[in-house]
């Protein structure tokens, strides 16, 4: 197999694209535009003022399966913190090598192989959003609406240690809750006060009691603030709450449970303001997803290993609108979100070969055997 040009990946990695660095994210987007333009993609740019633009690369549509490839442009590392790219015989190192500029690099090279062997591409589009690492609050509505036009979605987050693809991810909801009480002197006018801290403490206990580990559900009150001093009844407190869940039933139970706790506490005389809510719905294994996986296994001639993860990705969004979705088609790596992030070189080659075969069969109506042979020859040159 041809040795990949990791210097090309290095140029993507060293362009800082922290989620809140709009200039950098857009610059990285321009890099991807330049690389994908020779493959015949048309571009729709969804311009944004404070975050990077979202980019949809699309091809003409014909009869057959319509496929969405999904990635994100942003990383978690602010400017001047972790910007270096290095490599050795086995690994590449740097911000985004596995999460997920490395995954986008897999998609890019798979598409190059298709274009080289089959000519103009069709029925395959590539969506790159700019805010996945900060919750996709802006892009999730766009992603959900676009996804409805496709028959399948492959997401390029990092593979598992044994190149597992991801069939399920927990959903997540986050809330910022402000509690307003009434200040009073703790010695002279104790009964005149309404203690916001006391209300928060009771809410914390009730919310965490919603956790059910056997069902894969957790509620975490990750941050609390409140009060003025020891001699003052607290007039204000706040908390940041996160809920994660592995099924739609648990999603509904936790969302309703948190809402009911807030309503019940308000009866005590405090006022409560809630911001946030469901961030990403559950990505749950489904019959349609199993059909998709079985089809891919037939194309590849060997079954892909699978796993479910507690972390979320934009695969949750696409899956939630009913599109058969598989995640984890990027390279295997570890240390993501740390200065030790790395990705295994050989896993890039494996994933490019697999994705090329899948898309050759779906998008060019080649038999499984024919597409395997053609792509094998291309990647062996």
Average pLDDT, integer, range 264-269: 90
- Structural domain boundaries in the chain: 6-169+283-380, 171-280
One fold for both 6-169+283-380 and 171-280? no
Average pLDDT, integer, range 96-104: 97
Residue 112 makes CB contacts below 8 A (sequence gap 6+) with 39
Contact 206, 195 (CB under 8 A): no
Reduce the DSSP state of residue 165 to 3 states and report it: strand
Average pLDDT, integer, range 42-70: 97
Q: Is the pLDDT of residue 1 over 90?
A: no
Q: Is the pLDDT of residue 211 over 80?
A: yes
Distance CA 182, CA 232 (A): 10
* Per-residue confidence band for 375, with pLDDT thresholds at 50, 70 and 90: low
Give me the pLDDT at residue 183, please. Answer: 97
Q: Is the pLDDT of residue 370 over 80?
A: no
Give me the pLDDT at residue 367, please. Answer: 54
Q: Which CATH architecture has domain 171-280?
A: 2-Layer Sandwich (3.30)
Distance CA 195, CA 182 (A): 7
Distance CA 104, CA 128 (A): 9
Average pLDDT for the chain: 94
Give me 133's structure tokens: 């690492």
Helix, strand, coil % in the chain, rounded to nearest 5: 40, 25, 35
Distance CA 291, CA 298 (A): 11
Distance CA 197, CA 132 (A): 34
Distance CA 324, CA 148 (A): 10
6-169+283-380 fold: Aminopeptidase (3.40.630)
């Amino acid at each position: 197999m041809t040795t990949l040009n990791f210097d090309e990946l290095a140029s993507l990695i060293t362009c800082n694209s922290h989620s809140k660095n709009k200039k950098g994210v857009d610059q990285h987007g321009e890099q991807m535009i330049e690389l994908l333009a020779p493959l015949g993609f048309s571009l729709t740019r969804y311009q944004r003022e404070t975050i990077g633009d979202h980019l949809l690369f699309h091809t003409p549509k014909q009869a057959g399966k319509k496929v969405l490839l999904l990635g994100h442009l942003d990383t978690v590392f602010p400017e001047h913190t972790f910007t270096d790219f290095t490599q050795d015989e086995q690994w590449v190192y740097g911000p985004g090598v596995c999460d997920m500029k490395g995954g986008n690099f897999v998609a890019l090279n798979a598409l190059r192989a298709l274009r080289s062997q089959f000519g103009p591409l069709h029925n395959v589009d590539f969506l790159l959003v700019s805010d996945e690492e900060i919750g996709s609050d802006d892009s999730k509505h766009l992603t959900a609406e676009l996804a409805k036009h496709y028959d399948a979605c492959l997401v390029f987050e990092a593979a598992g240690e044994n190149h597992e693809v991801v069939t399920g991810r927990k959903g997540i909801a986050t809330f910022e809750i402000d509690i307003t009480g009434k200040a009073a002197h703790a010695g002279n006018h104790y009964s005149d006060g309404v203690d916001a801290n006391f209300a928060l403490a009771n809410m914390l206990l009730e919310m965490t009691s919603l956790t059910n580990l056997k069902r894969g559900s957790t509620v975490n009150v990750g941050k609390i603030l409140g009060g003025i001093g020891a001699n003052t009844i607290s007039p204000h407190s706040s908390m940041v709450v996160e809920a994660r869940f592995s099924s739609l039933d648990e999603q509904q139970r936790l969302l309703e449970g948190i809402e009911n706790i807030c309503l019940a506490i308000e009866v005590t005389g405090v006022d409560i303001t809630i911001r946030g809510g469901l961030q990403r719905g559950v990505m749950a294994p489904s019959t349609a997803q199993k059909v998709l996986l079985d089809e891919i296994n037939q194309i590849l001639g060997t079954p892909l290993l699978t796993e479910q993860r507690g972390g979320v990705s934009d695969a949750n969004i696409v899956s939630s609108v009913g599109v058969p979705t598989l995640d984890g088609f990027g390279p295997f790596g570890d240390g993501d979100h740390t200065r030790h992030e790395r990705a295994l070189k050989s896993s890039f080659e494996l994933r490019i070969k697999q994705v090329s075969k899948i898309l050759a069969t779906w998008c060019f109506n080649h038999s499984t055997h024919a597409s395997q042979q053609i792509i094998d020859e291309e990647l062996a040159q």
